[in-house]
Amino acid sequence: MAHDHEHDHAHDHGHDHGHAHQPHPFQPDLEAAPLTHYQVMTQAVGDLLIEKGVITADELRAMLEAIDAKSPAAGARMVARAWVDDGFKARMLADVNGAAQELGIDAGSIPIRAVENTAAVHNVIVCTLCSCYPRLLIGLPPDWYKSRAYRSRTVREPRAVLAEFGTVIADDVEVRVHDSTADLRYMVLPARPAGTEGWDEEDLAGLVTRDCMVGVTLPKSPQ
C-alpha cells in the first residue's frame, strides 16, 4: 500500500495536533543518481563474467550473501579466549590468522595483527586511505568507519573522536592510532573488564562488540 502512504503525505488532511504537519521529504531511490564510471565498470565486469560462464549469477549472489553475513562474533570469540588463556593470547598477538585456526575460524589470507589495550595504552584503528578492516573477524565496516570525517579526524584529533563515541581516555594513558593503509589489517584486543572474574568464554564474548575491536569504545563492566 505504498501508494496510499505517499498519497496521505502529499495531501495533508489538516487534522490539528497543534503543529504544522509537514509532508516529509522523499529519500531518493538509489537508482535516482546517475551511475559513476566505476559502478558502470563493476556492473559490466560482473555481467561479462556471468555471460562467459566464468561464474554464475547464483555464485555471485551467494558470495555477496556470505560477505554480508560476516559478523563480529568470530573476533569476539577470539578476544574472550585470549582473556581466559594467556598462551592463546600470546599466539594471537603474534599471529591472529594462526590463532583463529585454533578456534576453527577462517581469518582469510590477509595478515591480521591484534594490538593490546593495557593500563598504559589505548589503541584505535583507522584506514586513512580507504576502509581496510578485518572483515572476516569483525564483519563489514560501519559507514562511519569509511567516512572522510573518521578517516581524517582519527589521526588528527583521536581523543576528540573517541570522546564523541563516549570514550574518554585519561591523559596518563597513551592513545595509539594505527593507520592500516598497507598489507595488514588490525584489530584491538581490549582489556578484560573488571567484575567478570569466573565468567565463561561465551558470556565474556558477549561483552566484546565491533566497536571495542575497532577501539572506539571499551567493553563495559557488568555492574
Q: Determine which one of 130, 147, 152, 221 is catalytic.
A: 130
CB of 159 to other proteins, least distance (A): 5
CB of 108 to other proteins, least distance (A): 16
Which cell goes with 107? 581469518
CB of 153 to other proteins, least distance (A): 11
**Beta partners for 145?**
none
Q: Determine which one of 71, 109, 127, 147 is catalytic.
A: 127
Active site residue 127: yes
Nearer to other proteins, 29 or 171 (CB): 171
Contacts with other proteins by CB under 8 A lie at 111, 128-129, 155-160, 171-184
Nearer to other proteins, 35 or 129 (CB): 129
Nearer to other proteins, 74 or 125 (CB): 125
Active site residue 130: yes
Nearer to other proteins, 20 or 182 (CB): 182
CB of 186 to other proteins, least distance (A): 9
Active site residue 132: yes
SS3 sequence, 9-72? HHCCCCCCCCCCCCCCCCCCCHHHCCCCHHHHHHHHHHHHHHHCCCCCHHHHHHHHHHHHHCCC
Nearer to other proteins, 92 or 205 (CB): 92
CB of 115 to other proteins, least distance (A): 8
Active site residues: 127, 130-132
